[in-house]
Structure 1
Amino acid sequence: MRTHPVGHALVVLGLVGAVAAPVVGATAAPSVAASVYLYDVTVAAGGAAKAEELYVDTAGAPVTLNRATVTYDYRDAAAVVRLAAAADPADEDRWESCTAAPGRLTCRLPAGWTLRGEGDALPEVRVAAADGAALHAAGQVTTTLADPAIGTTAVTSRVRVGERADLRAAADPPLSAEVDGGFTRSLGVTNAGRRPVEGVVAVFEGTHHVVDADTDYGNCHYADGVLRYCYFAGPLAPGRTYRTSLPMHVAARAYAPGVQASTVTWLTRAEAEDAIDADSVGEPGDGAPLLLRLDRRAARVAPPAADHADGDRAPNTATAEIDVTGVNGTDVAVSGSTVHARPGDTVDLRVGYAVAGPAALEAPEGLRAVTAVDVTLPLGVTVVEDPDGCSEVGERTWRCYASARYLAVGAGEECAFTVKVNRIVDDGAGEVALVTDDPAVQHRSDDRSENDTAALRVLR
């Protein structure tokens, strides 16, 4: 039900890899093998609770859970943290029920909870420092997921209490760049707390076609040539703002005119240790370090000794929207299908679309999909089952939105309408048609009109 896609070789906070290795054991013969991971957590003494999710990986195999329970056993850390279920009645993907006991929280998932296979996230729990928890206190939480379909699997994670901090990312001015062109992003972070912070980490993510401009900073780590994060030594003085500049590049496959986005999240070192998987840290750069400089003269402060945890992580992130100028469109080719059947048969009518380039498609925030097609079914059939992402918009016509938020050149999607054949109608073909006039999609103008439609036929 709830999933988190992983982007282009970037650290998506709380989503990539597991800090603690899962311990797996099955109480019954499961139909699918599963592993789980819960990130290490540093909470601020006296700070707000942090929302944490348990992630489930079934190696790409979809599975439905009907009797799933999740147990968070934190008896080892009862003096360190307290756990509670996140209560949001508006959230459709919420726990069916949760029961608290000393040092333990047990939650049940609603029957019919579907795991898609990778990056699946279960509902949130809230982790906060226990009343009277000592600074530097640490313990362990063992989280166990059990369901007959996957057996039993568990993971142990570290929890600890750090000193409260307040990091705030500086807002970005408007930015623009041409396709296959460069620009400079100014990055800033303010220590808005009352105490100095001993070092920070900047974690970078964004849309697929905006990256650093082949940088090689010695205090930064890279994966597949893409900047992932940078360490900056402290201390950061209270009330002071620190800045740096990062050269960036819009790739040649970016859609234009369009919008790309670049996000930076500032973490304390303790939080970075929690969020960044040791197995996916990437490679350090070989060049001079990227420097974070005080934007005005400040007195030197002694480094604090405590682990730091931000009491409110929302202001830590700043997203720059880059207006991509020029013209770099793409061709989306649609496909239909032909089936042979007799009256009374149930058949699948397959429809699809693929990106032919030159630009790739990526839906920025605020848009529903990268593209869509209208599917008009042939005469003489009745829908038995329509695909996910499709909704009826007229007589015999469904609008189907792309499910992927990013489609590279050469990539596409396919789905099927299951229909019952009532009669064979000569010259009663249906049609698949590319949609370019829907404000909810990115792709609003196609480079080649000759492949924007395809037929759906049921023949004898």
Structure 2
Amino acid sequence: MLNPYARRLLAGLGVVAALVATPANPASADLSDVKIDFYFPDVTVAAGSPGKVESAILSASRPVVLRDVTMRFDFSGLSGKVIVSEPDDFGYCTTPEPSVLLCTDPFEVSLEEWGLAGILPVTIAPTDGTDEATGKLKVTFSAAGVDPLTRESSVRVGEGVDLAAGPETETSAKPGEAFDASLAVRNAGTTTVKGSSLVFFGDHALRAGEKYRNCTYDGDHLRTCNFDEELAPGTDYRASLDLVLGKDTYAPGRAYGEAIWMTRAEYEDFAAYLAEQGVSTGEPGTGGTLTLTTGRRQARAAQADTDPMNNHGLITVTTTGKNGSDLAAIGDKLTGAAGAKVTATVGFRNNGPATLDYTRAGSSVTYVRVGVPEGTTVVEAPESCAPVKGEEWGEPGEAGGRSYFCFAGSLAIAGEDETFDFTLRVDKVVPNAKGTVEVNVSCQCDGGFDHDLKPANDTAAVLVNAAGGGGGGTGDGDGGLPVTGAQTGLIVGVGGLLLALGVGGFVLSRRRRTRFVA
């Protein structure tokens, strides 16, 4: 149920993996032209706790498969204060010298540009009797054919506290209507919490009313808030958000918002990760200050949450009224001599009035089928499209197909297009060679839209070397081939692999290539 912002930054606890993954490319003997990099997060752990499990995020300048990936953890700068160990005793790590842990992955590791986390995780824990400490963890990465790289991570041992999100808030509104939503948090521990932060993930439908000066916003969407108030043990606190349900919200239905509470120290660790990744939480608001209902300000020391499992709050908004969507197919008109390469840009437009937001499910808003015109061959296909080979499916982006099945994104904003570019080679000139684009194609997959306001425009033509001024363009229902039967026996691995980042027990999302399985 996480939106794209959440998938880029952090999500619920644990690892979610619901895709069929394949290595990006065969291993290369020569890695001299590949830039490998990694990042290991800063971490704050609670004194007297079992610590946190963390892992590096690996990336490569192009898809590559690595062997003998090794991570060396030197925690001598925290000797006697922190211990770095192998979680669950997998047997991949050794201790060649005091305050050093050496871990080697026995499996191949496939990397792509957007990175991969969860490789060779370690537990970072305070030693008995350590109440406060700060130091550096030196992490060195190496692999067969790759020069070693070293990075430093800041590690803090802080006072243990327990923030717990309040109960779910439920309300209702119609598109365009303002409403108040309460975010609740409780200090469930026995130690005063000296300042807190929240990261907010709201559906596209949830827009900010007032933009508070202690919060940040991406356009009209709330992202983070920082509170200076101290939270007394055993006490409940609330902040009332001024929100608006967007006029383009689909109705009837539901919209969701999630708040994840952190200590200020844990938020600092998370903010450092975002800065490293070049991700912005947006701009501060210029309105009043959002406050928790009780509490007073106090100087802060490092604190860490002892139970991140209870840090998630939820807002549920029942969207009332009736506000639907019309998805219209987009075709194209091309001209080319024999041997020429031409690009067909096809897809669909959301004519609105409602935006379709399937990002919490991580599924496509719709599925598109593209029929290739006679006399042409696909020489380049989008990675989100796979050729249909009878009852089997080829690989994403595979050339040479006669029919393609394409997966749309999870968010189709009213008034905007989503298109796919196919490079076609004109093998021979066939006057009025015709292909088709069909939107809202049935599929035994997650997602898909089946309440289209105007099914008549779900099909459009792709014309090559049209005679007499005929054209493709937006579907109008007059000249496309009909959708002939549902796709059956299709199991599709889609979505993102949510990999452990470990900031306060949360996870980072990274997309990986998928394959289509019949």
TM-score normalised per structure 2:
0.66
Higher mean alpha-carbon deviation, 256-265 vs 45-54, is at 45-54
In 1, Cα distance between equivalents of 2:147 and 2:178: 51
In 2, Cα distance between equivalents of 1:82 and 1:271: 19
Equivalence for 1:179: 175
Equivalence for 2:244: 249
Equivalence for 1:18: none
Q: How far off is 1:193 after superposition?
A: 1.2
Q: Does 1:308 align with 2:303?
A: yes
In 2, Cα distance between equivalents of 1:284 and 1:291: 15
Return the match for 1:12 from 9, 13, 28.
9
Q: How many residues align?
A: 423
Equivalence for 2:318: 323
In 2, Cα distance between equivalents of 1:109 and 1:213: 52
Q: Does 1:193 align with 2:181?
A: no
Return the match for 1:410 from 410, 416, 419.
416
* CA deviations over 1:294-338 (Å, ceiling 9, x no partner): 4xxxxx999797521112212101122323233333333334577
Equivalence for 1:38: 40
In 1, Cα distance between equivalents of 2:155 and 2:345: 49
Q: How far off is 1:385 after superposition?
A: 10
Q: Does 1:129 align with 2:125?
A: yes
In 1, Cα distance between equivalents of 2:288 and 2:171: 26
- Is the 2:329–2:348 Cα contact (8 Å) retained in structure 1? yes
Q: 1:291 to 1:302 in 2, by over 3 A?
A: closer
Q: 1:263 to 1:351 in 2, by over 3 A?
A: same
- Is the 1:34–1:57 Cα contact (8 Å) retained in structure 2? yes
Q: How far off is 1:194 after superposition?
A: 2.1
SS at match of 1:292: coil
* CA deviations over 1:6-63 (Å, ceiling 9, x no partner): 629x99349xxxxxxxxxxxxx9853546543321111223344343434566xx643
Equivalence for 2:54: 52
Q: Does 1:435 align with 2:440?
A: yes
SS at match of 1:235: strand
In 1, Cα distance between equivalents of 2:406 and 2:386: 4
Q: How far off is 1:107 after superposition?
A: 4.2
The within-5 A match list for 1:56-455 is 62-67=62-67, 69=69, 71-75=71-75, 76-84=77-85, 98-101=92-95, 102-108=99-105, 111=108, 113-115=110-112, 117-118=113-114, 120-123=115-118, 125-132=121-128, 134-146=130-142, 154-217=150-213, 219-224=214-219, 226-277=221-272, 280=280, 283-294=283-294, 306-335=301-330, 352-366=347-361, 368-375=363-370, 388=384, 390=386, 399-402=405-408, 404-408=409-413, 409-414=415-420, 431-435=436-440, 440-441=446-447, 443-455=449-461
Q: 1:425 to 1:179 in 2, by over 3 A?
A: same
Higher mean alpha-carbon deviation, 139-148 vs 314-323, is at 139-148
Equivalence for 2:489: none
Q: How far off is 1:130 after superposition?
A: 3.7
Structure 1 residue identity aligned to 2:93:
T
Q: 1:417 to 1:456 in 2, by over 3 A?
A: same
Structure 2 residue identity aligned to 1:312:
D
Q: 1:363 to 1:232 in 2, by over 3 A?
A: same
- Is the 1:192–1:238 Cα contact (8 Å) retained in structure 2? yes
SS at match of 1:198: strand
Structure 2 residue identity aligned to 1:99:
C
TM-score normalised per structure 1:
0.73
- Is the 2:210–2:287 Cα contact (8 Å) retained in structure 1? no
In 2, Cα distance between equivalents of 1:213 and 1:123: 38
In 2, Cα distance between equivalents of 1:393 and 1:192: 57
* CA deviations over 1:98-153 (Å, ceiling 9, x no partner): 434342343448546141x34x3322524331432612212222344456898665
Structure 1 unaligned segments of length 5 or more: list them.
15-27, 90-96, 295-299
In 2, Cα distance between equivalents of 1:255 and 1:53: 39
Structure 2 residue identity aligned to 1:449:
P
In 1, Cα distance between equivalents of 2:107 and 2:432: 47
Structure 2 unaligned segments of length 5 or more: list them.
12-29, 392-401, 466-518
- Is the 2:38–2:59 Cα contact (8 Å) retained in structure 1? yes
Between the aligned residues of both structures, percent identity stands at: 29
